[in-house]
Structure 1
């Protein structure tokens, strides 16, 4: 069973390199890697060519939802995984997320615990990321919790779900709340979401958005929260 790992990126090449190295060293399962570059100017394209990684090079920054959608259109896998460019994964990460996804036909999306994430997936960092992954693997083996939303820094779902509810909603570009929207649509279609409590993915945190400045990020958050509320008639904060 092939999993398509889709990574949108915008500059911050060293973080992307670390993420790809961690994937390659910690993922024995069958996967393909697709990187969607949002017009980086730091040598990202050259690196991807050197590493023979499948990529889409966009002429400018089209944002996270649009970049994800480009990758989803190219993906060949039965399972699809959206992953930020500023993460580190440890052995067992994909296998555990897949196991949770396949635990019931009703499961639509799975996501891991992390050190930097909003909502219930947040967990205190103790030790380095591999030690955290080992600790959770031992303390919470096979432990899942149903939640109302999962954060888009690492989302695993099936092609069946995507075929049913579609791609990410690009009205939320350049990003924020497109993951809340996708989770809401999945639940509206009858799927359940699982937080995989025995899996840890380290997240540096909003690497691309940090380049825009805190004031700009806060304005974007407010704008997209209103977009969600206008679209669905509910406040997305109630699902956190």
Structure 2
């Protein structure tokens, strides 16, 4: 049976990481491996991963999301690769439904879930006050239903599933976007340029806190990162991603 390699970059976010890993372990009944890539944390992340026997890559300082993901991708052994933010909590049926979508068509390149805290089309309105309510809601939301799948132009990198074939075809994340923002848009653009389709799984609801690590490291400069990397995308492709990736011209609030 195929294995999904789940890569979780993290930086001084141990409580979030613990919640993320616990949700994977509780709600995932298909083969997987977890690879945590730590960007120089000083909060006990290393000790936690050792105690939990999690595959662990330790960096001396915070290199950001793209570099951490690429290191994790290089260490994977799975048939599928999933980039997962440490501030995401998954629920019942999440991976099974996403894999069903990924393998529904040979040309599906990337799939992603819906959540209430994200920019763009993956954002959904849903009401819950705590994780108990979230899991109760997700238990109903995540009933398999391919009629809720939708081909889109963009999948946000908070929960980003693709086959190894895609990585072999288009490569890894572009590290010019370090420490992060628009590297996922760039990957989507490259996938689509190579004939792959992107699929939003409306039958997979996850919880996402939203930009926790970035806002912690760049409390005053987070907006500047978005502006800078937006321009990097334009310089690279000679197109404005807001014209087709964000129909409402929202800023990238992942």
CA contact under 8 A between 1:114 and 1:123: conserved in structure 2?
yes
Q: Distance in 1 between matches of 2:127 and 2:139?
A: 11
1:212 deviates by: 2.9
1:225-240 alignment to 2 at 5 Å? 225-238=230-243, 239-240=245-246
Q: Distance in 1 between matches of 2:218 and 2:36?
A: 25
Q: Distance in 2 between matches of 1:131 and 1:199?
A: 13
1:6-155 alignment to 2 at 5 Å? 6-127=7-128, 128-138=133-143, 141-142=145-146, 143-155=148-160
Q: Distance in 1 between matches of 2:218 and 2:116?
A: 22
CA contact under 8 A between 1:165 and 1:185: conserved in structure 2?
yes
Count of aligned positions: 239
Structure 1: where are the runs of 5+ without partners? none
CA contact under 8 A between 1:88 and 1:129: conserved in structure 2?
no
SS of the residue 1:190 aligns to? coil
Structure 2: where are the runs of 5+ without partners? 247-254
1:131 deviates by: 2.6
Is 1:191 aligned with 2:196?
yes
What's the counterpart of residue 208 of structure 2? 203
SS of the residue 1:14 aligns to? helix
TM-score under structure 2 length normalisation: 0.92
TM-score under structure 1 length normalisation: 0.97
RMSD across aligned positions (CA): 1.0
1:214 deviates by: 4.5
Q: Distance in 1 between matches of 2:85 and 2:192?
A: 23
CA contact under 8 A between 1:133 and 1:198: conserved in structure 2?
no
SS of the residue 1:85 aligns to? coil
Divergent runs of 4+, >4 A: none
1:213 deviates by: 4.1
